[in-house]
Amino acid sequence: MLVHICCSVDSHFFLEKLQQDYPKEKLTGFFYDPNIHPYSEYQLRLLDVQRSCKKLGIEVLEGDYDFEAWMQAVRGLEKEPEKGARCEVCFDKRFEVSAKKALELGENKITTTLLVSPLKSQEQLKRSGDAFYGKYGVEFIAVDYRANGGTQDQSRVTKEEQLYRQDYCGCIYGLTMQREQQERLMDEMFSPISNKTLPASIEERLEMYKYRIELEDKGIEYKIIKEKFLNYRQLNFKLIKGKKEVIPAYALLYSALERKTAQGRIEFEDKNIYYFNRQEIKFIDLKHFNSLCNYNYKNIKELIFNPPSFEEELNIRASIEPNNYSLSPIIVLQTIIDAKLTVTLDAKIYEDTREKLIKL
């Protein structure tokens, strides 16, 4: 039997139940989910599915990540709600590819772990599955593992196995609507030009889940916990000299302006820190920045595209501004400028939760 897999939270429990109910069937997992966005999230879910299937002794195959074809398939359905018409088209596309894969492998039965997801309509899934049974002759096995406390059992298994528990279905449209309803910043879509790994980002989780597999391979015990913290995302930053000359500059983490724009000039200097006469802004030159971080940046552009890590930059900020609660902008320039300056800085600072791995 070919089992279409969407994520480990659904698949681990679902596959365990299938192994019990269909002991004579050879189960093959098929991870085909071009709807998942961004690609780093797709990589993270695939990684955890591979770990889960390895634990269960089930081979897992990866389908193509044909995201553009998926986007074309759901065109015009972007505003559809969860369990609406977009989901049905999404199921159709994934089932068609899964049915063809089953035939390629010589299988005559397919099913999907989506059946166990509380976010999905089992009726929609059955309609799509039955349609492809009629078209391809591949039988769709529609099992209901949600009933009789199944959802609670699934939650227990997820916790026991420390599976990656995503907090959105997968597609960009569902994510957008969910974050709008929650009035939350859609920080999953932030991708800094520096490729810096940001806290509570998908990339940070991906690194952590790769590391946990290394620990498991070495037999080292660990625990994944959650912690609350103040997160930061910089949306826009620009420094202008005079009326329109843009000056290369770099704003350190947790720099924020209440009104997003400040005009003025540098007023005085103390211990290599230059103080602006508006909104508590501080400037340092690149030479002093290098001395604080033990790097040797030649220019601001190099700093922008290859900055220190998040943790290193926090330490640099602390050495300039000892107050741990300070949100004063700290701006790095090649050399200090004696002229009228306009600082534009749009940043979000917000309560958030991140996962953290502890070795036991």
Give the CA distances from residue 129 to residues 19, 31, 273, in Å, rounded to whole numbers and listed in that order: 21, 17, 66
Q: Which residues pair with 351 in a beta bridge?
A: 230
Q: Which domains does the chain have, with CATH numbers?
A: 2-174 (3.40.50.620), 230-353 (no CATH)
User: 279-295: per-residue pLDDT in tens?
Assistant: 899 999 999 999 999 99
DSSP helix, strand, coil percent of the chain (3-state; round to 5)? 40, 25, 35
pLDDT of res. 128 = 81
Q: In what order do the strands lie in the sheet with 330-333?
A: 249-251, 330-333, 282-285, 273-276, 266-270
pTM for this entry: 0.91
The answer for 170, left when phi > 0, alpha when psi is -120 to 50, beta otherwise, is left
pLDDT of res. 129 = 82
CA atoms in the 13 A half-sphere facing the CB of 137: 4
Cα torsion 62, 68, 72, 78 to 10°: value is: 90
Q: In what order do the strands lie in the sheet with 222-241?
A: 245-246, 222-241, 341-359, 261-264
Q: Which residues pair with 297 in a beta bridge?
A: none
pLDDT of res. 353 = 95
**Average pLDDT for residues 288-315, to the nearest whole number?**
96
User: 10-53: per-residue pLDDT in tens?
Assistant: 999 999 999 999 999 999 999 999 999 999 999 999 999 999 99
